[in-house]
Amino acid sequence: MRDERASTPRVRIAVIGSSRVGKSALIVRYLTRRYIGEYHSNTDLLYRQTVPINGTPVELEVIDVSGSNSDKFPAEQIQWADACLLVYAVTDRSSFEYATEILSALKRAPRGGSPAHGVAGASAGMPLALLGNKTDLDHLRQVSTKEGQAVSAAHGASFSEASVADNSGDLYRCVDRLLAEVRTPQRTRKFSVTKMLGSLIGGAANNSQASRSGSVVACPRVPAPSRPPLAAAAP
Ligand SMILES: Nc1nc2c(ncn2[C@@H]2O[C@H](COP(=O)(O)OP(=O)(O)OP(=O)(O)O)[C@@H](O)[C@H]2O)c(=O)[nH]1
Ligand SMILES: [Mg+2]
Protein backbone atom coordinates (compact mmCIF):
# COMPACT_ATOMS: atom_id res chain seq x y z
CA MET A 1 0.00 0.00 0.00
CA ARG A 2 1.27 3.46 -0.88
CA ASP A 3 2.43 5.49 2.09
CA GLU A 4 0.69 8.84 1.60
CA ARG A 5 2.50 10.32 4.59
CA ALA A 6 5.86 9.72 2.98
CA SER A 7 4.81 11.48 -0.21
CA THR A 8 3.46 14.64 1.43
CA PRO A 9 5.92 17.49 0.92
CA ARG A 10 6.89 19.51 3.95
CA VAL A 11 7.46 23.23 4.40
CA ARG A 12 8.93 24.67 7.59
CA ILE A 13 8.39 28.30 8.56
CA ALA A 14 9.97 30.15 11.49
CA VAL A 15 7.93 33.08 12.83
CA ILE A 16 10.26 35.47 14.64
CA GLY A 17 9.77 38.80 16.38
CA SER A 18 9.82 40.66 19.67
CA SER A 19 7.47 39.75 22.45
CA ARG A 20 3.83 40.89 22.12
CA VAL A 21 3.93 41.73 18.42
CA GLY A 22 1.25 39.12 17.72
CA LYS A 23 3.16 36.09 16.40
CA SER A 24 1.04 33.51 18.22
CA ALA A 25 -2.17 35.32 17.36
CA LEU A 26 -1.08 35.43 13.72
CA ILE A 27 -0.21 31.73 13.49
CA VAL A 28 -3.42 30.63 15.18
CA ARG A 29 -5.39 33.03 12.97
CA TYR A 30 -3.78 31.66 9.84
CA LEU A 31 -4.29 28.03 10.80
CA THR A 32 -7.73 28.20 12.41
CA ARG A 33 -9.16 31.56 11.23
CA ARG A 34 -9.75 32.34 14.91
CA TYR A 35 -8.38 35.17 16.98
CA ILE A 36 -6.93 34.32 20.34
CA GLY A 37 -6.58 37.55 22.30
CA GLU A 38 -4.30 36.32 25.05
CA TYR A 39 -1.92 33.52 24.36
CA HIS A 40 0.87 33.09 26.88
CA SER A 41 3.86 30.88 26.29
CA ASN A 42 7.45 31.27 27.35
CA THR A 43 8.65 28.54 25.06
CA ASP A 44 8.73 27.96 21.33
CA LEU A 45 5.73 26.11 19.94
CA LEU A 46 5.60 23.95 16.87
CA TYR A 47 2.43 23.73 14.82
CA ARG A 48 1.82 21.09 12.20
CA GLN A 49 -1.00 21.17 9.73
CA THR A 50 -1.65 19.97 6.21
CA VAL A 51 -2.54 22.89 3.95
CA PRO A 52 -3.01 23.20 0.20
CA ILE A 53 -0.30 25.16 -1.62
CA ASN A 54 -1.00 25.72 -5.29
CA GLY A 55 -3.50 22.89 -5.12
CA THR A 56 -1.05 20.40 -3.58
CA PRO A 57 -1.38 19.24 0.04
CA VAL A 58 1.70 20.24 1.98
CA GLU A 59 2.64 19.41 5.55
CA LEU A 60 3.16 22.86 7.04
CA GLU A 61 5.29 23.13 10.16
CA VAL A 62 5.41 26.52 11.83
CA ILE A 63 7.65 27.31 14.77
CA ASP A 64 6.37 30.13 16.94
CA VAL A 65 9.60 31.50 18.36
CA SER A 66 8.88 32.90 21.79
CA GLY A 67 9.69 36.60 21.94
CA SER A 68 10.56 36.33 25.61
CA ASN A 69 13.98 35.06 24.55
CA SER A 70 14.62 37.70 21.90
CA ASP A 71 17.89 38.68 23.53
CA LYS A 72 19.20 35.44 22.01
CA PHE A 73 19.52 35.20 18.24
CA PRO A 74 17.23 32.37 17.02
CA ALA A 75 19.93 30.62 15.00
CA GLU A 76 18.66 27.07 15.54
CA GLN A 77 15.16 27.95 14.49
CA ILE A 78 16.44 29.68 11.35
CA GLN A 79 18.61 26.71 10.46
CA TRP A 80 15.61 24.44 10.88
CA ALA A 81 13.33 26.53 8.67
CA ASP A 82 12.80 26.72 4.91
CA ALA A 83 11.58 30.31 5.22
CA CYS A 84 11.28 33.02 7.86
CA LEU A 85 8.46 35.39 8.69
CA LEU A 86 9.68 38.41 10.67
CA VAL A 87 6.90 40.10 12.57
CA TYR A 88 6.87 43.50 14.24
CA ALA A 89 4.09 45.72 15.54
CA VAL A 90 3.63 49.05 13.76
CA THR A 91 2.95 50.46 17.23
CA ASP A 92 6.32 49.37 18.60
CA ARG A 93 9.49 50.82 17.10
CA SER A 94 11.78 48.58 19.10
CA SER A 95 10.06 45.53 17.59
CA PHE A 96 10.75 46.95 14.12
CA GLU A 97 14.39 47.43 15.07
CA TYR A 98 14.59 43.83 16.24
CA ALA A 99 13.09 42.53 12.99
CA THR A 100 15.54 44.71 11.04
CA GLU A 101 18.43 43.34 13.08
CA ILE A 102 17.41 39.76 12.25
CA LEU A 103 17.05 40.59 8.56
CA SER A 104 20.48 42.21 8.56
CA ALA A 105 22.06 39.16 10.20
CA LEU A 106 20.38 36.88 7.66
CA LYS A 107 21.65 39.02 4.81
CA ARG A 108 25.19 38.75 6.16
CA ALA A 109 25.01 34.97 6.37
CA PRO A 110 27.15 33.51 3.58
CA ARG A 111 26.10 30.23 1.96
CA GLY A 112 27.71 27.36 3.84
CA GLY A 113 29.69 29.76 5.98
CA SER A 114 29.70 30.49 9.66
CA PRO A 115 28.47 34.04 10.03
CA ALA A 116 27.83 36.20 13.02
CA HIS A 117 25.32 34.71 15.44
CA GLY A 118 26.05 31.20 14.12
CA VAL A 119 23.36 31.04 11.45
CA ALA A 120 25.75 28.74 9.57
CA GLY A 121 24.70 29.87 6.14
CA ALA A 122 21.33 28.19 6.41
CA SER A 123 19.56 31.38 5.46
CA ALA A 124 21.26 32.08 2.14
CA GLY A 125 18.55 32.36 -0.49
CA MET A 126 15.90 31.59 2.08
CA PRO A 127 12.51 33.20 1.38
CA LEU A 128 11.90 36.02 3.84
CA ALA A 129 8.85 38.08 4.67
CA LEU A 130 8.48 41.13 6.90
CA LEU A 131 5.06 41.78 8.38
CA GLY A 132 4.00 44.88 10.30
CA ASN A 133 1.09 43.84 12.54
CA LYS A 134 -1.53 45.81 14.49
CA THR A 135 -2.53 48.27 11.76
CA ASP A 136 -5.88 48.59 13.54
CA LEU A 137 -3.98 50.70 16.10
CA ASP A 138 -3.03 53.31 13.52
CA HIS A 139 -3.40 56.15 16.06
CA LEU A 140 -0.53 54.54 18.01
CA ARG A 141 1.65 53.93 14.98
CA GLN A 142 5.40 54.35 15.49
CA VAL A 143 6.63 52.78 12.24
CA SER A 144 5.50 54.09 8.86
CA THR A 145 4.61 51.88 5.92
CA LYS A 146 7.45 53.45 3.96
CA GLU A 147 10.00 52.43 6.58
CA GLY A 148 8.78 48.84 6.44
CA GLN A 149 8.91 48.85 2.66
CA ALA A 150 12.42 50.28 2.61
CA VAL A 151 13.84 47.78 5.09
CA SER A 152 12.25 44.80 3.38
CA ALA A 153 13.46 45.95 -0.04
CA ALA A 154 16.98 46.42 1.30
CA HIS A 155 17.01 42.87 2.65
CA GLY A 156 15.27 40.99 -0.13
CA ALA A 157 12.16 40.28 1.90
CA SER A 158 8.55 40.65 0.84
CA PHE A 159 6.59 43.21 2.85
CA SER A 160 3.08 43.41 4.21
CA GLU A 161 1.14 45.21 6.88
CA ALA A 162 -1.87 43.62 8.50
CA SER A 163 -4.07 43.43 11.52
CA VAL A 164 -4.41 39.96 12.95
CA ALA A 165 -7.17 41.30 15.19
CA ASP A 166 -9.13 42.61 12.21
CA ASN A 167 -8.47 39.42 10.22
CA SER A 168 -7.09 41.40 7.31
CA GLY A 169 -6.64 39.46 4.10
CA ASP A 170 -3.07 40.70 3.82
CA LEU A 171 -1.91 38.36 6.56
CA TYR A 172 -3.12 35.31 4.62
CA ARG A 173 -1.60 36.63 1.39
CA CYS A 174 1.70 37.25 3.17
CA VAL A 175 1.94 33.70 4.51
CA ASP A 176 0.63 32.12 1.30
CA ARG A 177 3.24 34.01 -0.73
CA LEU A 178 6.02 32.90 1.58
CA LEU A 179 4.89 29.27 1.36
CA ALA A 180 4.74 29.46 -2.41
CA GLU A 181 8.29 30.80 -2.45
CA VAL A 182 9.70 27.76 -0.74
CA ARG A 183 11.04 25.82 -3.66
CA THR A 184 12.22 22.56 -2.17
CA PRO A 185 9.64 21.06 0.14
CA GLN A 186 10.61 17.73 1.69
CA ARG A 187 8.57 14.78 2.80
CA THR A 188 7.33 14.45 6.35
CA ARG A 189 4.80 12.64 8.43
CA LYS A 190 1.23 13.76 8.62
CA PHE A 191 -0.48 14.38 11.93
CA SER A 192 -4.07 14.96 12.87
CA VAL A 193 -4.20 15.99 16.51
CA THR A 194 -6.71 18.84 16.55
CA LYS A 195 -7.44 18.28 20.24
CA MET A 196 -3.88 19.26 21.16
CA LEU A 197 -4.42 22.63 19.55
CA GLY A 198 -7.81 22.80 21.22
CA SER A 199 -6.44 22.21 24.69
CA LEU A 200 -3.74 24.80 24.18
CA ILE A 201 -6.12 27.52 23.13
CA GLY A 202 -8.82 26.72 25.63
CA GLY A 203 -10.84 24.41 23.46
CA ALA A 204 -11.56 27.07 20.89
CA ALA A 205 -10.35 24.90 18.05
CA ASN A 206 -12.78 22.14 18.84
CA ASN A 207 -15.78 24.10 17.69
CA SER A 208 -13.97 26.32 15.23
CA GLN A 209 -14.98 26.71 11.64
CA ALA A 210 -11.56 25.49 10.67
CA SER A 211 -11.83 22.50 8.42
CA ARG A 212 -8.12 21.79 8.53
CA SER A 213 -6.70 19.58 11.25
CA GLY A 214 -3.41 20.21 12.97
CA SER A 215 -1.29 19.81 16.03
CA VAL A 216 0.91 21.90 18.27
CA VAL A 217 3.74 20.89 20.57
CA ALA A 218 6.11 22.81 22.80
CA CYS A 219 9.75 22.97 21.73
CA PRO A 220 12.22 23.15 24.62
CA ARG A 221 14.78 25.82 23.85
CA VAL A 222 17.50 24.23 25.94
CA PRO A 223 17.47 20.56 24.98
CA ALA A 224 18.94 17.80 27.10
CA PRO A 225 22.19 16.45 25.63
CA SER A 226 20.47 13.34 24.30
CA ARG A 227 17.75 15.38 22.68
CA PRO A 228 18.65 17.61 19.73
CA PRO A 229 17.15 21.10 19.31
CA LEU A 230 13.59 21.07 18.04
CA ALA A 231 13.39 17.34 18.62
CA ALA A 232 9.63 17.72 18.91
CA ALA A 233 9.58 18.42 15.18
CA ALA A 234 11.33 15.24 14.21
CA PRO A 235 9.22 12.52 12.61
N1 LIG B 1 -4.80 45.60 18.53
C2 LIG B 1 -4.20 44.45 18.14
N3 LIG B 1 -3.72 43.62 19.06
C4 LIG B 1 -3.14 42.49 18.61
C5 LIG B 1 -3.01 42.16 17.24
N6 LIG B 1 -2.38 40.98 17.14
C7 LIG B 1 -2.11 40.58 18.39
N8 LIG B 1 -2.58 41.49 19.29
C9 LIG B 1 -2.48 41.44 20.74
O10 LIG B 1 -1.13 41.60 21.09
C11 LIG B 1 -0.84 40.84 22.27
C12 LIG B 1 0.33 39.93 22.00
O13 LIG B 1 -0.05 38.94 21.05
P14 LIG B 1 0.72 37.54 20.99
O15 LIG B 1 0.20 36.79 19.83
O16 LIG B 1 0.67 36.87 22.31
O17 LIG B 1 2.21 38.07 20.74
P18 LIG B 1 3.54 37.23 20.57
O19 LIG B 1 4.34 37.91 19.53
O20 LIG B 1 3.21 35.79 20.34
O21 LIG B 1 4.26 37.41 21.98
P22 LIG B 1 5.30 36.41 22.70
O23 LIG B 1 4.66 35.05 22.77
O24 LIG B 1 5.53 37.04 24.04
O25 LIG B 1 6.54 36.40 21.86
C26 LIG B 1 -2.12 40.11 22.62
O27 LIG B 1 -2.79 40.86 23.62
C28 LIG B 1 -2.91 40.11 21.34
O29 LIG B 1 -4.29 40.08 21.55
C30 LIG B 1 -3.56 43.06 16.29
O31 LIG B 1 -3.52 42.89 15.07
N32 LIG B 1 -4.12 44.21 16.80
MG1 LIG C 1 3.52 34.10 21.48
CB 67 less than 6 A from any atom of ligand 1: yes
What string of DSSP letters covers the chain? ---HHHHSEEEEEEEE--TTSSHHHHHHHHHHS---S----SSEEEEEEEEEETTEEEEEEEEE--GGGTTS--HHHHHH-SEEEEEEETT-HHHHHHHHHHHHHHHH--TTS--GGG-TTTTTT--EEEEEE-GGGGGG--S-HHHHHHHHHHTT-EEEE--TTTT-HHHHHHHHHHHHH----EE------HHHHHHHTTTGGGG-S--S-EEEEEE-SS--TTS-TTGGG--
In this structure, are strands 9-16 and 56-64 parallel, antiparallel, or unpaired?
Answer: parallel
**Chunked in runs of 10, what are the mean pLDDT values of the chain (235 residues)?**
67 96 96 86 91 87 91 91 97 97 82 47 78 98 98 96 96 94 53 36 35 66 39 39
Does residue 22 have its Cβ closer than 6 Å to ligand 1? Answer: yes
Ligand 1 pocket, residue 23 CB under 6 Å: yes
Alpha carbon of 66 to ligand 2 centroid (Å): 5
Q: Which of 72, 30, 22, 77 is nearest to 197 (CA)?
A: 30
Q: Which of the listed residues 15, 31, 39, 65 should we mutate to test ligand 1's pocket, taking the one with most ligand atoms within 8 A of CB?
A: 39
pLDDT, residue 194, reads 36
Q: Are 90 and 132 in contact (CB under 8 A)?
A: yes
Instruction: Write down the pLDDT at residue 109.
Output: 63
Residues 31 and 24 sit within 8 Å (Cβ to Cβ): no
Residue-level pLDDT at 200: 40
Which residue from 122, 125, 143 is spatially nearest to 133, judged by alpha carbons? 143
The answer, yes or no, to whether any atom of ligand 1 lies below 6 A from the CB of 90, is: no
Distance 128 CA to ligand 1 centre (A): 21
- Domain of residue 174, residue span: 4-233
Ligand 1: distance of its center to the CA of 165 in Å?
A: 9
Q: Which atom of ligand 1 is nearest to the CA of 37?
A: 29
What is d(CA 152, CA 174) in angstroms, rounded to the nearest whole number? 13
Tell me, using a 6 A CB cutoff, whether residue 29 lines ligand 1. Answer: no
Residue whose Cα lies nearest atom 28 of ligand 1: it is: 37
What integer pLDDT is reported at residue 213 of this predicted model? 63
Rounded Cα distance between 37 and 121, Å, is 36
Total domains in the chain come to 1
CATH number at residue 91: 3.40.50.300
190 has which bridge partners?
none
pLDDT for 193 = 33
Q: Per-residue b/e over 84-95, b at no fewer than 16 CB within 10 Å?
A: bbbbbbbbbeeb
